[in-house]
Structure 1
Amino acid sequence: MSDRRKYFTWLLVLVPLFSLPALPLVTVTAQAQTNLTRKDEAVKIFNLGWQQAERGNYSEALKLFEQALAILREIKYSVGEATVLNDIGEIYRRANQYPQALKVLESALVIVKQIDDKAGQAANLNNIGLVYRDMGEYTKALEYFQQAIAISNQAGKKQQQGSMLSNIASIYNKLGEQTKALDYLQQALANYQQLGNKEEQVIMLNLIGLNYQNRGEYPKGYEYFQQGLIISKQAGDQSGQGISLNNIGSYYYNLGQYAKSLDFLGQALAIRQQLGDQSAIAVNISNIGEVYRMLGQYPQALQNFQQALTIQKQIADKDGEGTTINNIGQTYSDLKDYNQALNYLQQALAIRQQISDQDGLGETLNNIGDLYRQLENYDRALEYFQQALAVNRKIGNKPGEAGNVNNMGEVYRTLQQDAKALESFEQALAIVKTIGDKAGEAKTLHNIGLIYIHQGQYPEAEKNLFAAIDIWEALRPGLSDAQKIAFIDTQANTYRFLIQSLIVQNKIEAALEVADRTRARAFVDLLVLKQLEKPNAQINIKPLKLAEIKNIAKSQNATLVEYATVEEDKLYIWVVNPTGKISFEQVNLKQSLKSPLQKLVLASRNSLGARGRGINISPINEPPNSGSKKTQLKKLYEILIQPIAKYLPTDPQSRVIFIPQSSLFLVPFPALQDQQGKYLIDKHTILTAPAIQVLDLTAKQHHNIPQSEKDILVVGNPIMPKLPIANEILEPLPGAEAEAKKIASLFKTQAIIGSKATETSMVKQMNQAKIIHFATHGLLDDFKGLGVPGAIALAPTRQDDGLLTSGEILDMKLNADLVVLSACNTGGGNITGDGVIGLSRSLITAGVKSVIVSLWSVSDTSTAFLMTEFYRHLQHNPDKAAALRAAMLTTRQKYSNPLDWAAFTLIGEAK
């Protein structure tokens, strides 16, 4: 595990340097006219020097400053001399020439003491502190900052104190003392608020946000970034907007929301390019490159890094160079080009040693160690981790120290040196607890849990893994739905290993609680928020306890079957009967399968020969590869059903609700065959759900829909919209039109087809419909970048584009008892730890009690037949699951291929 220091330099404005008073142009007597002229000359040269400095031309800047200094000394203008010396020191600091910077700044300090300039003394002491901070000598830096603020207080110079307070905060942040850092940042913010300095308020708000973000309190950090953005916009502060947008980009990056991260980083870059701030531009470009790296778009990442590096070399930004070259090394490491990776990391190491960048030095040493770990050269890996640890301990970099120790623990764990690994993880745990890094604490507890599992100490593993999960879940409130989904995916292994620990201890029922606790958590929160009708409410829904799970099986009058996988070798299956009896089986997948379960699931689907909607495929006879198909469907039955068959109801009318995980969401459960060739749909009435807790919440969807056939909305073959990316119009579906008309006739209503089936019109009618049937194209992409894939194709107008997306459905309030998506792949979407993120999830969240979706592309003819049969049965029996089963059985008599009758699944309530 790589301990990556912030590759993102999210805040691109240094705490302002306090320059001594600018050279004044004062009214003087004639005898001083010559001196005044010389001062004016010095001021002009001085300003030219800063113009060169801002371009990164430090050597030219220093030459000009020295000329100005010579003039000021000649006319014995001490205040001016101190000012220029101070700024010469700043240039040396920017150029990472720290000994020269200290020498010049100390000379300036002697002068301001001689003339008793308290404000000047405070400024010089502050600037000396900045040099020591950059050198990684944090204790010395803190001493100078504290001296500076004490003198500034004596002089009553409030305008100086905000910067000094934030500089002290930066030291405590480096030392890992986040609480102290936050206290000083809050003091600095209050200082700037009192002075009415909006620009500095924005900087402090962003620093406070970063403090919270570094502790894993992402929503709190985001709140401060947003405050900074609002104030900077109100004040017309473009630089502040760039900072805030950049940090919001970091927020989404940390949550794995890379599209949004790129969006905000792009906005920040545009502002900085307009301002011409080359240093900020370079870091922004590098940050965007880091997002591309995390997305696996390595050529694009390298292009960005090289672009940033070119700028940094032009402006002699050695610190930026070190960071960007380090990032290039990490990218080559991701590409498994270890020679190139090592080459760049060693370059970064040399730069950071040259400029005494201790933070960067520790980071790069750590990354080289991680490279050797990947190469399985564990001795070299430990050597570099130890060097990084020595650097971080010397400078008091607690977060870096925790990362180094944790990485060493990973090496020891790989070497099965459990005692050493545990010792390392315990050291890391103590550090992350001290500095308040909650995310780091959870990760370290997870690692400790793995050691105890390897040692067979399952009660200890259970304790640590439960503690990790408690922290993960405490960090979720306040995140958006998409953010929760991404966040949950990063934690999935902790839940899986906890389930394993519980099963080994024969804690079957406790393991079931955890199994349901790990899935659809964001979905559950979303459903509760919609039912509360308080979209901004802060909620933290408790997971189900065993008694509640049993009660749900009873109230549903159904047998619940929940699956969970641990790594690739174990499948756990729980069966909860309506009586409350819980049964459990586990399958050793390595013994049962030659390849991963996911591969079998995909192969079984492919063997069915699924094709796109609108293609007339309705074979009456079995296709040539039916033997392979039957073999795969039987193998899936053997893995998923046979171990628990004895616990399932014998009455085919009894409902069985499958709660899959991962690739099992793609399983065509009705088409699974036992060894005698009997399909599962022959034996059971089947439904699916993303979690048991979701079943509980959908049962609470209370609707007051009039029981009138006029409230049936049937849509078929609308005028097709254009796809925004491909810029192609979808093909019409005449078969879907015929299907819609036939179904509408059953309910004595009119199907809405062609140009009448507009998105705007359908959205209005959906709000009042009891049953909604869509016979049209279903799309799986996130066309509008809303973070939720899936769309229903409808007729476009000037008011809309004809694509009713999952994201838009989430914002609707529906009262429908049932929505049928008679389109291709409408049950698809992004499979995550939270279930399938797509149309079905959005519709249920919007208030629909039940949704029927397809698991693959279906033919027009067989679908029209199946759907007509479904509604015919539903008119006589309100049990949707029973009606769907009857329709499948009837359809199978005419279309024997499971491709034609097994695609649809019911999610949600049976009645």
Structure 2
Amino acid sequence: MLEKSRSTVARVATVFVLCVAASCGRETNVSSNAPRRPVAARRTLARLTDAPEWSPCTVSLRPGHIVQEAACASHIANAPVSVGGKDCDDMIGNHEETLRTLVAAPRCTDAAIRRLRTLAEQQPQAGRLWSDLAAAYALRAERDDRPSDLLRSLDAAEAAIARDPQLTEARFNRALALEQVGLPKEAEEQWDQLRRGSRSGWTREADEHWSALRRDASRAAASQWPRNQERIEAVVAAGDRKALASLIDPFRGAAHRYVEEEVLPAWAAAAASGDAGTAQRQLAIADAIAQTLTIGTGDRYLLRIVERIHEVERAKDEVMLGRLRRGHAAYGDARRTERAIGAERAERTFARAQQLLTDAKSELACSATMARAIALSFRNQFAEAMALLEPVEAHAHANDYWYVLGRARSNQAYLYTYQSRFIEALDRYDAAIEAFARMGDAENVANAHTRKIGILRTLGDPEQAWTESFLASRDQARFVEAPSRHEFLGETAEAATALDCPKIALLYQTAAVQLFQDRLAETPSTDSDRIVALHRNLGIALRGMAAVHIRLNDYRQADRDLSEAFRFISEGTAKDDQGVRQALLARIKGVEGDAALGEERFGQAVTAFTDAFRLASETPFRTFRAELLMGRAEAFRHENRRADSERDLRAAIAELRAEEDGLLDRRRRGSSEEFWSAYFSRSQETYQRLIRLLADDNRKQEAFTFAEQARAYEPLHLVLQLDTLTTQAFRRWTHDGRSLALEEIQSSLPADTFLLEYSVLDDRTYVWIVSRRTFEMLTLPVHKKAIESWNDKLRADAREQNIDGFETTLCDVHHALVSGPLEVLASIPHTADARLVFSPDGPMHGLPFAALRSDGDSPYLIENHRLSIAASGTLYIYSILRDRELAVDGRRSAILIGDPAFVPSNATRGLDRLPRGRSEVRRIAPLYAPAVQVLVDKDATAPRFFDLAPDAAIVHVAAHAVARPEMPFRSLMLLAPSHDHLSTIDAQELLTRFRTGHTRLVVLSACSSTGGVPIGPEGLAPLVRPFITAGVPAVVGSLWDVGDAPSEELLVAFHQYYRDGLDADDALRLAQIQIRKHDDAGFHWVFAWAPYQIVGQASSPFRPNHTGEN
């Protein structure tokens, strides 16, 4: 038996809910196809088919969470389920067992969902299974605070109803999900159907939901801003400040705009024409609104604008009063021009308003300046626009003008977005949300969340994009302008599509189309400007509808949508600037190309994509242009125009790389860590298509070049920012941050070192074998899903100690991925124990290469070869050169950290102290004496680690690590607390604070330190990446949880060999071989030694004494 694992962490789970009437009842027709079973009580808010008995639930929202949680009271005892000590997979089997485990064992939620999905896909017509999958997703949304699971819940409920339209549980779950994902109209219709069933607790609950939605809809209709706006003048005249507050408080941003753009320009016009009565009434309205907003928000911006008018009137300064009148009038004119024919045409008028208001010392100059900045952006004058916004933001911040501060920051984010500076845009939108929230401006908070959706999709993070949509949906009733609501619906539809839920996306896109159709129906035919604007927006909505229909393979409807979209956009952009018109038409042509490609009309697809690219050539959206080039490349490929396809793929990569370079050049080390992996993952398909094309033409060197460029680009960028001699030379060698050429890699590899670099595609895998004198490429008939399956099975078998299954899978992996390269090596003269450097790709990360072997009687790979892992060939060469640089200073000191006295918390639940870790470092210490420092217990603090570790040649940390697959950048290493630091260090802090120094080797004696999470094209585990990118040549760690006793023995042996002068990879190899010969039978198991890997290369600072040769 292995001793207790170092990082077995149970999830903290809660339950999700809604408050309903506390009466009880049972529905007689629970399901059209449900078998008889004992009555079970309700345990979740969403309905499970094994729990027909109703009971009430109550809702709560935990601080810091955004998905509500439920607790459901029950008077019926459920059958007991024993979960203690069992593995999740042992507790789930059939449908009923899976549901019991889902409810009783929160830590098994993921496993239960996987099982339900497998069962549902095996029985595609079983509506009950799909309905329970919907309930399971809803439950996980609550437990993990994961809004995207509400979308998946709706998708599964739709699938259940498609299979069994009368299944009550599925209809209930659909209604619940519709309500939760911000589709209240559709939810109301579904609840209305459910409440009409035979009276029971379930129908009463449906009635509660329906009534609540009806009340919300009625309140929203009664308090819409246009209606409130119509009542303001009468309320002000009556002096009813309380009524005025009730009219403007829900729409504080709209009230600001109303005064700035309508009331004060009306005052200016009346005053200029001598209509003193009208001027006085308009100024009284502005005064009342400004005072009310100041009382409610503490923001005096609008009040100071009005006070300035009063000051000038009292002073009877006709010159200054004239400037104020003309300034306010110009600002109103500019806003009307902007709405009618576009912002660019209004720039001169905004500039005149800005000058007049500045001269008149009116704070409204801030709004005029911001509007002018946006107008300049339509001419691509981004630097000039940003220069206008910066002083406005500073002035607003100094004066607590929350409204102006939010707008300035939101406008900065808008400009950053159009320059593809996405990380800075997200930061500015977050800052804008903070400012708008301070003044209770729910509309602009929702607008900022909506703008973040598209950025996050572009960055390749659909999960977080949906979270922003979920946050925006809570305030969607506050959208005043139809284009703002349309933007929310359209962005949400695209977020749903990105999460592979196009049927749900269609609901949002249909709502967007209906929005503008309704607006057109109610617009007088004489209001031509409004009709033109609505036509433009309807065309955009129809273009979005076509894109969704393409994802649903409904090409005929997509063609109809595109035809209508083109007509409406042509009519709606007649007065627009040419740039706006071209951008909109480019989007339509791009969707047209997608439709033609889907229908295998490849020639038409080429034409459409070509037109789209021409129209988009002047836009700043590189990602969009890359998508067009990829689409055209695919059409060319189908037409067997390989040269044209290759040209477009190379151009697409160039577009993406240019955008990436811009982002990386402005990044700060450790900032925005949550985005980098997803962002660089989005370009992998483009690289893979080009690699396939080149490989098919046997252009193996060019294929290798792009395989090398596709990986570890972001870590390489961090490495090249270091101030070391190696980096200075390497910076010139890598040609401004590009990966090394094949010849450069070959010339730098040591003798008898073979780089095996892989590229995993959906249907095949390429591997390049590179050494000083060798370069070969193999095409392996193994696909991505097979490797993913093997990796999952190895982890499960390691967790369950299933030695037979584990060994079988190791042989499968060896045969598929390693036997071919080994046959090539067999034909090349080399030493018996040649070094193999694996550069894995995608699902290969996490494979225990040391333990691979051809069959149960053959030696393990580690017994014949020294092994190491590299994120890329380029980074491996860097580790070699950096190791040589560090070898010059001759430093041999070590810092050893063991058994830190970490602070118990939710993140550390289930983790105990590590007495074996303390023993481990104390056994290692004499090897490096006297130049060794040992930190254990309370002395092993984060500040001491950051202060001391970079100055040591060798760093060893025997502590707990917590891998966080959902947030890799939050993966933890647990140390002891200090007066100024908690006991946890996450990957982001490591990257930010671990400074470049003299460290040549880091040993992370912690479970899952080199694995435990998905690794994208960055090629490095979250806790490894900070050290490699700080210039540490090599890191040793483990792929999964390992028992403390074998871990101690293996790592003590490793340090003995390393102290004897062996390179780190050779020392690890001999330690793994030695542990297999240990007297304790438990140490022989492959589980005990196989997960240890070394990333990079580090020589020993000690002279060899040849102990390892024995």
Which residue in 2 is equivalent to 1:770?
953
Between the aligned partners of 1:661 and 1:75, the Cα distance in structure 2 is 72
Which residue in 2 is equivalent to 1:602?
792
Q: Does 1:369 align with 2:540?
A: no
Between the aligned partners of 2:711 and 2:1041, the Cα distance in structure 1 is 27
Between the aligned partners of 2:751 and 2:360, the Cα distance in structure 1 is 60
Equivalent pairs, count: 771
- Range that drifts further, 735-744 or 357-366: 357-366
Contact 2:996 2:1030 in 1 (8 A): yes
Alignment of 1:199-598 (within 5 A): 200-201=368-369, 204=372, 229-230=393-394, 232-234=396-398, 236-246=400-410, 265=429, 267-277=431-441, 279-284=443-448, 286-287=450-451, 295-296=462-463, 304-312=471-479, 317-326=481-490, 334=501, 336-337=503-504, 340-341=507-508, 343-354=510-521, 356=531, 357-396=534-573, 397-475=581-659, 476-477=661-662, 478-480=665-667, 482=673, 484-531=676-723, 540-553=736-749, 555=750, 557-566=752-761, 568-579=762-773, 581-589=774-782, 595-598=785-788
Q: Does 1:743 align with 2:924?
A: yes
Contact 1:209 1:225 in 2 (8 A): no
Q: What TM-score results when the alignment is normalised by the length of structure 2?
A: 0.61
Contact 1:510 1:546 in 2 (8 A): no
Identity of aligned residues (%): 18
Between the aligned partners of 1:459 and 1:123, the Cα distance in structure 2 is 60
Q: Does 1:848 align with 2:848?
A: no
| Cα deviation 1:699-723 (Å, max 9, x = unaligned) | 33233786465x1211111112334
How far off its partner does 1:242 sit? Answer: 0.9
SS at match of 1:690: coil
| Cα deviation 1:583-640 (Å, max 9, x = unaligned) | 11011225xx9x5321112212322x248xxxxxxxxxxx6x4332222101100111
How far off its partner does 1:122 sit? Answer: 9.9
Which residue in 1 is equivalent to 2:1084?
896
How far off its partner does 1:335 sit? Answer: 6.5
How far off its partner does 1:502 sit? Answer: 0.9
Return the match for 2:942 from 759, 763, 781. Answer: 759
Which residue in 1 is equivalent to 2:229?
none
Q: Return closer, same or farther for 1:350/1:42 CA change in 2, 3 Å cut-off.
A: closer
- What is the CA RMSD across the aligned residues, in angstroms? 4.7
Between the aligned partners of 1:346 and 1:678, the Cα distance in structure 2 is 65
Which residue in 1 is equivalent to 2:137?
none
Which residue in 1 is equivalent to 2:865?
684
Between the aligned partners of 1:447 and 1:297, the Cα distance in structure 2 is 26
How far off its partner does 1:774 sit? Answer: 0.9
Contact 1:717 1:776 in 2 (8 A): yes
Q: Does 1:659 align with 2:854?
A: no
Between the aligned partners of 1:52 and 1:502, the Cα distance in structure 2 is 67
Which residue in 2 is equivalent to 1:700?
881
How far off its partner does 1:788 sit? Answer: 2.8
Alignment of 1:612-691 (within 5 A): 625-648=802-825, 651-675=831-855, 676-691=857-872
Between the aligned partners of 1:162 and 1:885, the Cα distance in structure 2 is 77
SS at match of 1:700: helix
Q: Does 1:77 align with 2:274?
A: yes
How far off its partner does 1:340 sit? Answer: 3.7
Contact 2:758 2:839 in 1 (8 A): yes
- Range that drifts further, 686-695 or 371-380: 371-380
Unaligned 5+ segments in structure 2 are 1-232, 286-321, 524-530, 574-580, 1100-1110
Between the aligned partners of 2:958 and 2:249, the Cα distance in structure 1 is 62
Q: Return closer, same or farther for 1:373/1:886 CA change in 2, 3 Å cut-off.
A: same
Contact 2:879 2:1097 in 1 (8 A): yes
Alignment of 1:12-161 (within 5 A): 77=274, 130-131=335-336, 133-134=338-339, 145=346, 158-159=352-353
Between the aligned partners of 1:425 and 1:41, the Cα distance in structure 2 is 56
Letter of the 1:777 counterpart = H
SS at match of 1:820: strand
Which residue in 1 is equivalent to 2:898?
716
Between the aligned partners of 2:739 and 2:361, the Cα distance in structure 1 is 43
How far off its partner does 1:755 sit? Answer: 1.5
Letter of the 1:718 counterpart = P
How far off its partner does 1:131 sit? Answer: 4.5
SS at match of 1:890: helix
Letter of the 1:670 counterpart = A
Contact 2:838 2:868 in 1 (8 A): yes
Between the aligned partners of 1:76 and 1:844, the Cα distance in structure 2 is 72
Which residue in 2 is equivalent to 1:103?
none
Between the aligned partners of 2:610 and 2:1055, the Cα distance in structure 1 is 61
How far off its partner does 1:371 sit? Answer: 2.6
Letter of the 1:349 counterpart = F
SS at match of 1:906: strand
| Cα deviation 1:67-89 (Å, max 9, x = unaligned) | x999x99998358779999999x
Q: Return closer, same or farther for 1:232/1:543 CA change in 2, 3 Å cut-off.
A: farther
Between the aligned partners of 2:916 and 2:973, the Cα distance in structure 1 is 17
How far off its partner does 1:331 sit? Answer: 6.5
Letter of the 2:476 counterpart = L
Which residue in 2 is equivalent to 1:806?
987
Contact 1:289 1:303 in 2 (8 A): no
SS at match of 1:589: coil
Letter of the 2:880 counterpart = A
| Cα deviation 1:735-791 (Å, max 9, x = unaligned) | 2122111111333456432122222222222122111111111222499x9x83433
SS at match of 1:444: helix
Between the aligned partners of 1:378 and 1:487, the Cα distance in structure 2 is 30
Between the aligned partners of 1:904 and 1:890, the Cα distance in structure 2 is 13
How far off its partner does 1:454 sit? Answer: 2.4
Which residue in 1 is equivalent to 2:1094?
906
Between the aligned partners of 2:751 and 2:833, the Cα distance in structure 1 is 14
Contact 2:586 2:616 in 1 (8 A): yes
Contact 1:329 1:344 in 2 (8 A): no
Letter of the 1:647 counterpart = V
Q: Return closer, same or farther for 1:73/1:575 CA change in 2, 3 Å cut-off.
A: closer
Which residue in 2 is equivalent to 1:31?
none
Between the aligned partners of 1:715 and 1:465, the Cα distance in structure 2 is 49
SS at match of 1:563: strand
Between the aligned partners of 1:85 and 1:720, the Cα distance in structure 2 is 65
Letter of the 1:879 counterpart = D
Unaligned 5+ segments in structure 1 are 1-39, 89-116, 164-189, 612-622
Contact 2:814 2:854 in 1 (8 A): yes
Letter of the 2:781 counterpart = N
Between the aligned partners of 1:384 and 1:792, the Cα distance in structure 2 is 53
How far off its partner does 1:518 sit? Answer: 0.8
Between the aligned partners of 1:576 and 1:451, the Cα distance in structure 2 is 34
Q: What TM-score results when the alignment is normalised by the length of structure 1?
A: 0.74
- Range that drifts further, 476-485 or 435-444: 476-485
Between the aligned partners of 2:1077 and 2:411, the Cα distance in structure 1 is 61
Q: Return closer, same or farther for 1:671/1:258 CA change in 2, 3 Å cut-off.
A: farther
